[in-house]
Amino acid sequence: MNKKVSSTWILLSLAISAFAIGSTEFISVGIMPLLTKTFGISLAQGGLTVSIYATGIMFGAPILALITNRWDRKKLLIGIMISFIIGNTLAALAPSFAILLAGRVIAALSHGIFMTIASLIAADVVAPNKRASAIAVMFTGLTVATITGVPLGTFIGQTFNWRMSFFFLVALGLVGLITNIILVPNELPLPKPTSVKGIWKILKQPQLLLILLITALGYGATFPVYTYLTTILNKNMGWSQSAIVIILIFYGVAVAIGNTLGGKWANKRPLTALLKMFLGLGVALLITRLVINLHFLGLLAILLLGLFAFMNVPGLQLYIVQLAEKYTPNEVPLASALNISAFNVGITLGSTIGGQAVAHNQLINTPWLGIAMLVVGIILIAVLIKMENSPEVEPEVENC
């Protein structure tokens, strides 16, 4: 009974912190027009606030996972939230776009290491058959942020100014800091020691390398469209800025439903479930492209896209842990960190190629870019399924 209560409190504290961090990652999607106006930059340049953030997570997650591997988990969580607060304060006060990007990078470094250790803690504190659901609960903080944090931050930015949106994130960070101090136990188990060599051990395992590529392609496929969602809703579909705040809330609800379903479906056969989720996302992107210039049908397509957008996250994060436990048991935390990086390789890739399309006045064709990423991802899933079902494949046993 104590274990159950303990795991519930731990997951709650992680979800609260993830809410603060999730609100930060995509806040610039809602206030993109305000940023481009203030700094006199193009829409494609504004997209850097998403891709630079993702790049910070991409490099920060594995590097900081190595540096902090043997640090006390609770002290590390507290330090993460403090640096998160510093980064968003810098962004709020930024006198130039370059300083704003610097603040985004500091916040991103906090984000990467948080998601790495939070995923492992969530998976460790529940029964093995509930690990994907536990990871989904932790990621619920991110999806609730999509429902309320991002729309509220957007509303604050539109009502006052975009700087207040970042001060709103600072306030959320303070709440996350307090919940970490109060709710997270003092003595969480430390992972096994690891080193830079662990990265090579992971990358030379074909199955682990494949799932990292699948994560980048499948998760990133949403971002050629999502990075410019506010602009699509406004300029292509004809929705007003005030209506877009409400639409973002319903989009977030769809994301939350999809995330919960994705965690439930991925508990037993994650790879098969992921294949179906990728196909669903591909259909949603295709429909979005077909109705991108229509008012109400366009809105329905965006909500369908929200349902599938992040559905694959729990399964992708669970499966990398399962493969690491099988093939590189001493490097599970590092494999988790590399997968967090892979998520953000996908964001960087998706938002960057989306930005190139926007720069060439091809905003309406951004869904095709996501579909192309998914096609490659689906092929790689098929290859991985074949490899995992092959009796010849034997895991490389490490010396413990």
Res 31 pLDDT > 80: yes
At residue 227, the pLDDT reads: 86
Say which residue, 139 or 28, is predicted with more confidence.
28
Res 398 pLDDT > 70: no
At residue 141, the pLDDT reads: 78
Residues 335-373 pLDDT 10s: 888 998 899 899 889 988 998 999 999 999 999 999 999
Whole-angstrom distance between the N-terminal and C-terminal Cα of the chain? 32
At residue 6, the pLDDT reads: 67
Cβ within 8 Å of residue 392, ≥6 positions away: none
Res 135 pLDDT > 60: yes
C-alpha distance from residue 36 to each of 97, 231, 243, 292, 351 (Å): 9, 12, 20, 23, 16
Q: Superfamily for 2-389?
A: MFS general substrate transporter like domains (1.20.1250.20)
Write the DSSP string, 318-374. Answer: HHHHHHHHHH-GGGHHHHHHHHHHHHHHHHHHHHHHHHHHHHTT-GGGHHHHHHHHH
Residues 286-337 pLDDT 10s: 999 999 999 999 999 999 999 999 899 889 988 998 899 899 988 887 888 8
Place of tokens 């999509």: 146
Res 269 pLDDT > 80: yes
Nearest by Cα to 18 from 251, 321, 313, 309: 313
Reported as type and span, the H/E element at residue 272 is helix 270-290
- What is the C-alpha separation between 4 and 356, in angstroms, rounded? 49
Res 4 pLDDT > 50: no
At residue 391, the pLDDT reads: 65
The 3-state DSSP class for residue 189 equals: coil
Mean per-residue pLDDT, 88-98: 96
Instruction: Please count the CA atoms within 13 angstroms of the CA of 159 that sit on its side-chain side.
Output: 11
- Among left, alpha and beta (phi > 0; psi -120 to 50; other), residue 398 is beta
Say which residue, 158 or 397, is predicted with more confidence.
158
- What is the C-alpha separation between 179 and 161, in angstroms, rounded? 28
C-alpha distance from residue 65 to each of 5, 113, 207, 240, 275 (Å): 28, 6, 21, 43, 29
Residues 149-175 pLDDT 10s: 888 888 899 899 999 999 999 998 998
pLDDT confidence of 3, banded at 50, 70, 90? very low
Share of the chain above pLDDT 90, in %: 44
Residues 200-227 pLDDT 10s: 899 999 999 999 999 999 999 999 999 8
Nearest by Cα to 10 from 123, 172, 93: 123
Q: How far from the centroid of its chain's Cα atoms is residue 119's Cα?
A: 12
- The mean pLDDT value of the chain amounts to 87
Contact status, residue 307 vs residue 91, Cβ threshold 8 Å = no
